[in-house]
Amino acid sequence: LPEDRQQPDVFEALCKLHERKDGDSVVYLDAWPFSVPLVIICSPTLAAQACSQEHDLCKSPMLQSFFNPLAGGENLFTMNGPEWKRSRALFNPGFSGNYILQQTSHIIDEAEIYVEILREHARKGDIFSLDDVTCWYLMDVIGSVTLDSRLHSQRRYNPLATALRRQIRWHVLESEKWLRWNPARPFVQWYSSYEMDSYIGNELDKRYAEWTQDEASTRSIIHLALQGYMAHQKDKARPTRLDQAFKKRATIQIRLFLFAGHDSTSSTICYCFYLLESHPEVLAKLRAEHDAVLGSNIEETASNLREQPTLLNQIPYTTAVIKEALRLFPPASAMRGGDPSVQLKDDRGNLYPTDGMNMWILHSALQHHPDYWPEPLSFIPERWLVGPGDPLYPVKGGWRPFEHGPRNCLGQTLAMQDVKITLALTVRYKQRL
Ligand code: HEM
């Protein structure tokens, strides 16, 4: 494989080479001393069991060393047990479908700036990194929806967004391995963390002050979380300053939302553009749907959506395009720790032990597997619109870019909504202007 392929591609290739013919697609890999042994799962049946409520398997401790420096501590992604349940319950209402629909206007505010920036590039005809521009855009969306704070990082320097992007660069080290040995690394990481915590802490203090003026305010996800938290504290006297325990927990989760949400949604938008550009017949259908549902004048789309956000629930072809992009280019995967009492079982009755291992549900391998998908590598949005009985009808549990089960993606509705809005505001521009 070429050197710059993503890590999961290597494992997908490995799975293809080594899968057994008399059972489901699973590979056991002992990568000692780099990791505990892995069970790489590329089968819908086994993935569903590994992520099920029934087994309730823990998030692997291996994830902590990756996620915790970015989030600043134990976070929703890595926590387990009652602590995770409490935090998830606090943030669930803010990420519900209805609530995210109410955030449409905030998302459009940021999307309009993104569209302006893309059009400026189109006018100049220059070469630029679409992923970079889109990542800043998503930082602004997530800052606005979760923290009720407009970061404006698309247009100017913002300490929070810049510190997080710097933290990722010095932590992930995919393309710049030399950074690992740079003696300044611990200082840069400490300072970026400090900058993020100070910025979010200040914003949280402001939200608390606003909230004490108007307790019914539900303007952003953080307001809802604050409301939920304070409802549990109602027997105690109202503190004049924001409760420090809440502040610490909320800061970590906001850092996680920014990290987990910006890059994944950005890559989905970029791949949608790539696939639409290379499939003009799909692009034509998408434009026709937008003309019919969102109004034929693209300049009025934003105001139409602000007035009627539910229009976003009436564009099935757009949803199919995004689902197909996420099938071909899933930005994430899932991991669970094994357990001595849990053996996975495929449809032929083969048993797969998990004790002492980490299960890696490899979304790319599963979503490209020819046993589950006709024409697995072709971009066919129609497979999401046909009924049962059609050869294209997707296999149950085969599509899992956001995972399923109790640990599924908290931000999936926000991500889908944001990609829909972005496509609605961009794909009908036809020429350089
Ligand atoms: C296209 C965009 C996205 C994709 C493909 C994606 C994918 C995923 C996946 C696969 C998981 C589960 C991982 C596992 O089971 O180990 C997950 C969890 C999570 N995601 Fe996303 N995500 C996206 C966007 C977002 C956004 C926008 C946010 C928040 C703003 C977000 C926040 C989270 C959180 C907090 C969790 C942990 C949930 C828990 O364990 O309770 N994600 N995501």
What does the domain layout of the chain look like in residue ranges? 63-329+382-426
C-alpha of residue 158 to centroid of ligand 1, in Å: 24
Read out DSSP for 87-128?
HHHHHGGGGSHHHHHHTHHHHHHHHHHHHHHHHHHHHHT---
Complex-level ipTM:
0.99
Query: Does residue 432 register a pLDDT over 60?
Result: no
At 352, is the secondary structure helix, strand, or coil?
strand
* pLDDT of amino acid 21: 79
Query: Which atom of ligand 1 is nearest the CA belonging to 262?
Result: 27
Please work out whether the CB of residue 256 comes within 6 Å of at least one atom of ligand 1: yes
Radius of gyration of the chain (CA): 22
Among residues 193, 190, 210, 211, the alpha carbon closest in space to that of 248 is found at 193
Query: Which atom of ligand 1 is nearest the CA belonging to 138?
Result: 27
Please work out whether the CB of residue 261 comes within 6 Å of at least one atom of ligand 1: yes
At 353, is the secondary structure helix, strand, or coil?
strand
C-alpha of residue 383 to centroid of ligand 1, in Å: 24
Instruction: Estimate the crossing angle of helix 130-147 against helix 185-213, to 10 degrees.
Output: 40
Q: What is the pLDDT of residues 198-239, one digit of tens each?
A: 999 999 999 999 888 887 777 788 888 888 888 887 777 778
Q: Is 272 annotated as a binding residue?
A: no
| Token pair for 382 | 């129609």
Query: Which atom of ligand 1 is nearest the CA belonging to 253?
Result: 35
Please work out whether the CB of residue 276 comes within 6 Å of at least one atom of ligand 1: no
pLDDT band at 431 (very low <50, low <70, confident <90, very high): low
Read out DSSP for 326-345?
HHHS----EEEE--TT-EEE
C-alpha of residue 52 to centroid of ligand 1, in Å: 16
* Dihedral over Cα of 201, 206, 211, 213: its sign: positive
* pLDDT of amino acid 6: 85
Q: What is the pLDDT of residues 66-81, one digit of tens each?
A: 899 999 999 999 999 9
Domain 63-329+382-426 of CATH type 3.20.190.10: no
- Mean pLDDT over 298-318 rounds to 97
C-alpha of residue 191 to centroid of ligand 1, in Å: 26
- Mean pLDDT over 284-310 rounds to 96
**Across the chain, how many H-helices and E-strands are there?**
16, 6
C-alpha 107/C-alpha 181 separation (Å) is: 39
Q: What is the pLDDT of residues 79-104, one digit of tens each?
A: 999 999 999 999 999 999 999 999 99
C-alpha of residue 412 to centroid of ligand 1, in Å: 7
Q: What is the pLDDT of residues 229-286, one digit of tens each?
A: 888 877 777 788 888 989 999 999 999 999 999 999 999 999 999 999 999 999 999 9
At 300, is the secondary structure helix, strand, or coil?
helix
10 Å Cβ neighbour count for 169?
15
